[in-house]
A = this chain, B = another copy of it.
């Protein structure tokens, strides 16, 4: 019998969050990829649009045969980088559940890459064979329908990946967690559990999505004017909850927001979202019905400046306006880093006379991720020998590891690793080994990876203090100024109001050109200007000088 190749599991990509965006499973030269997501940039990653996993490791491994990309669910942090991965590995097939496949198809269509791959659609509960792996999918509850986790059969035992999950015992779509499959895994023996760590520092049990029904009911019962519900464009089950409340109180649904309308159309076509045709109305016709007869679904619950809600809050929407009597529900979790823009949007909507309902005013959103008690349940249900917390910042992974220890998994069988670490398994057990490149890549405009630390650092300086540029024209022979120097500045001070400062700048320029020889004048001028500007303003703009000799 030939020597069995080792199993290698490698979390890639993600910024701060580990084992979330893209994970590679290898058996010798055969590999599969689990999820290919993006991350949203932090506030200090200036100008960055989004962040994708660094999969240089995969492009370098020419010997590796990638048999497929497998998806847990359709959220951006799991599917958002698909077009980049498909572009790098064309022809590698995709496996996804119907809704996830639908969302990926829309995305690949926009990138004109839908012909570059094949899509294999499976149902939660199906077993699929990809390369050397037999993968058993199982349904999990989360904040989007059609989510799955995976049991991956390997020569060394079963590796269970939770996907993004919560144990919701009264899910709004009626589809309960697949406890049976998890129990069955446990009976067969689980080598390793990879568990979602997002809420590992939160005690207790995440409330069911169905608590939102009660909050909606109360708002719908009391609202006299229009209701707008702001949520994620992909939060399909929330649309259903809105429809239930709308029907109960005799309101029709209008949709504002291109992506949301597309997703609703697709989910209805797939039969995932069951809302009758006559429950919808055209957004352009809402003025023809009484305000109490309409509910509008809008995007922009994260305070994104270009989304519908921000445009409403600042009076920049073409079709809609916010008016006294409107009730606006923020039915979404605020992504860390967006707190300020969300607060600002809420305040502006209040300013326009609307009533705004948000958590904690009412429980109009709940997390889609398990808390500590659910994590304990998953560990106890699957009873793994090894445990790897994934999908969280390091602090969440550590908290999850503590829970696993409390559940009886020994310290040395728990792997808290950062992206790029290779977890290796063979018949002797599981261990961490080498580290490969596994960081992240900035996407800015059409540039992928061309904005690195040096450019970001320059943007930081420009963002803080701007720049000042002097263009001096001097006599070629005497080196004396022969024209008034041109001064260009942005982001530093408002030049027209800074007459005293400009006098100092000009005096400095004159001084340098009347006392210095050629050669060192450029450096001398930049040094002197830096000192003068700092003394007078306590700011350090970038300084450039151009000297033209004539």
Contacts and interface: CB of A to CB of B under 8 A. Distances in A.
Contact of A340 (B42, B399, B444, B538): B42
A156 interface: no
A491 to B, nearest CB: 4
Interface string A341-364: 101101100110001101011000
Which interface class (under 10, 10 to 19, 20 to 34, 35 or more) fits A? 35 or more
A275 B458 CA distance: 47
Name A's interface SS.
Answer: mixed
Interface string A491-504: 11110011000000
Contacts of A492: 455
Contact of A395 (B356, B445, B539, B546): B356
B451 A459 contact: no
Given A43-B340, A493-B455, A548-B548, A201 B361 contact: yes
A85 B473 CA distance: 45
Interface stretch (A22-30, A460-468, A516-524): A460-468
Contacts of A321: none
A455 B394 contact: no
A130 to B, nearest CB: 33
Interface in A470-499: 471, 473, 486, 488, 490-494, 497-498
A339 interface: yes
A16 interface: yes
A307 B432 CA distance: 35
A355 B401 CA distance: 12
B446 A493 contact: no
Given A343-B16, A493-B450, A350 B395 contact: yes
Nearest to A542: B490
A393 B340 contact: no
Contact of A455 (B340, B471, B491): B491
B343 A455 contact: no
A490 B444 CA distance: 15
A536 interface: yes
Given A44-B340, A201-B360, A343-B336, A459 B466 contact: yes
A320 B498 CA distance: 44
A203 B447 CA distance: 47
B339 A337 contact: yes
Nearest to A488: B544
A538 B490 contact: no
Contacts of A465: 47, 445
Contacts of A451: 493-494
Number of copies: 2
Nearest to A372: B360
A458 B360 contact: no
A47 B493 contact: no
A82 B124 CA distance: 63
Interface in A359-413: 360-361, 393-395, 398-399
A544 B47 CA distance: 20
Interface string A201-233: 111000000000000000000000000000000
Interface string A513-549: 0000000000000000000000011110010101010
Contacts of A47: 463-466, 491, 539
A159 to B, nearest CB: 25
Contacts of A343: 16, 336, 393, 395
A398 B450 CA distance: 46
A339 B42 CA distance: 10
A388 B462 CA distance: 42
A523 to B, nearest CB: 16
B43 A43 contact: yes
B471 A466 contact: no
A452 interface: yes
Nearest to A549: B550
A444 B494 CA distance: 13
Contacts of A279: none
A46 interface: yes
Interface string A307-349: 0000000000000000000000000000011011101101100
17 contacts: A43-B340, A47-B463, A201-B358, A201-B360, A203-B360, A346-B393, A350-B394, A361-B399, A446-B538, A451-B494, A455-B466, A458-B491, A462-B467, A471-B471, A486-B546, A548-B550, A550-B550
Q: Top 6 A-B pairs ranked by shortest CB distance?
A: A445-B538, A463-B463, A462-B462, A459-B491, A47-B464, A43-B43
